[in-house]
Amino acid sequence: MSSYQGQFRVWRGDSDGGSLEDFEVEVNEGEVVLDIIHRLQATQTPDLAVRWNCKAGKCGSCSAEVNGRPRLLCMTRMSLFEKDEVITVTPMRSFSIVRDLVTDVSYNYEKAREVQAFTPPGKLQPGEYRMQQEDVQRSQEFRKCIECFLCQDTCHVVRDHEENKLAFSGPRFLMRIAELEMHPLDAADRRDTAQDDHGLGYCNITKCCTEVCPENIKITDNALIPMKERVAGRRYDPVVWLGNKLFKRGK
């Protein structure tokens, strides 16, 4: 495959407003959208703002929307698109704009701070923790999260409802609560706060968050639904009761 001229529309502007701008730019074999943004910076628009760090899908910095879909720019291969297709790159829509593709993601850091931290088991000294692999595995799945906030961006509860941000922590942080709930040695009970302080009830399990997660974490099935079940009270529902037995062994 040789190089070709790709057609790009990139949103440019700041909190006062902005617009899509058209660019024609070289595309080479094997490249990802972030490479193209970098080429724009180096050759046409030196001040085009974008976040990135690892360029390998590991840090979750380069989140944006490509043709309207929330994606990591560094993991979106150009081969996904036709050569003559116009590729539109816009900032994440659920967060306010700082500049160009950079958004204000402070909402996420505020919500992160409100989740009660890991609560160590009182009696164990460092070095005395014993946990079985099968018991840590479920929380480990959630700890793969690279905090790209694409799930937060896509969730319809906040996507077009700024007003819900106050009461709703979003899939990433509801999942964090589930992660701590499933931690074999965590000593706190987070069921009430999940519902009352973090808005678990707003989630109606549409699974859009799961669909955009670049780490392929089953956010809805493995974190949100089990969490909802725990909150709903286990007493009368045998399926949920069984689920709970598996959910948190030996706690």
Partner 1 sequence: MTEVERQNYDVVVIGAGGAGLRAAIEARQRGLTTAVICKSLFGKAHTVMAEGGCAASMGNVNSNDSWQVHFRDTMRGGKFLNNWRMAELHAMEAPDRVWELETYGALFDRTEDGRISQRNFGGHTYPRLAHVGDRTGLELIRTMQQKIVSLQQEDKAEFGDYEAKLKVFQECTITELLKDDSGAISGAFGYWRESGRFVLFETGAVIMATGGIGKSFQVTSNSWEYTGDGHALAMRAGASLINMEFVQFHPTGMVWPPSVKGILVTEGVRGDGGVLKNSEGKRFMFDYVPDVFKGQYAETEEEADRWYTDPDNNRRTPDLLPRDEVARAINTEVKEGRGSPHGGVYLDIASRMPAEEIKRRLPSMYHQFKELADVDITAEPMEVGPTCHYVMGGIEVDPDTGESTVPGLFAAGECSGGMHGSNRLGGNSLSDLLVFGRRAGLGAANYVESLERKPVVLQSDIDTAARAAVSPFEPSESEGARENPYTLQHELQQTMNELVGIIRTADEIERALGRLAEIRARVRNVVVEGHRQFNPGWHLAIDLRNMMVVSEAVAKAALLRTESRGGHTRDDFPMLDSDWRNKLLVCRASGDDAVVPDVSVERKDQVPMRQDLLELFELSELEKYYTEAELTTHPAAQGDTA
In the structure encoding, which two tokens stand for residue 147, read together?
């905090």
Chain centroid offset of residue 135 CA? 24
Site track for ligand SF4 across 194-233, x = CB under 6 A? ---------xxxxxxx--xxxx-x-xx---x---------
DSSP 3-state of 94: coil
* 177 contact choice in partner 1, ligand FES, ligand SF4, none (CB below 5 to 8 Å, kind-dependent): none
* Beta carbons of 70 and 90 less than 8 angstroms apart: no
Quick one: which of 20, 52, 167, 197 contacts partner 1 (CB under 8 A)? 52
Q: Which residues of 127-137 are buried (b: 16+ CB within 10 A; e: fewer)?
A: eeeeeeeebee
Interacting stretch for partner 1, rule CB under 8 A, among 130-138, 155-163, 200-208, 232-240? 130-138
Q: Total residues contacting ligand SF4 (rule CB under 6 A)?
A: 28
CA distances from 29 to 3, 26, 115 (A): 7, 10, 44
Q: Which residues contact 99 (CB under 8 A, 6 or more apart)?
A: 13, 14, 49
- The answer to whether residue 153 forms part of the interface with partner 1 (CB under 8 A) is no
Q: Of the ranges 46-54, 83-91, 110-118, 140-148, which one interacts with ligand SF4 (CB under 6 A)? A: 140-148
* 22 DSSP β-pair partners: 9
Out of 2, 82, 84, 113, the only residue in the binding site for partner 1 (CB under 8 A) is 113
Q: Which of ligand FES, ligand SF4, partner 1, none does residue 206 bind to, with CB < 5 to 8 Å depending on kind?
A: ligand SF4
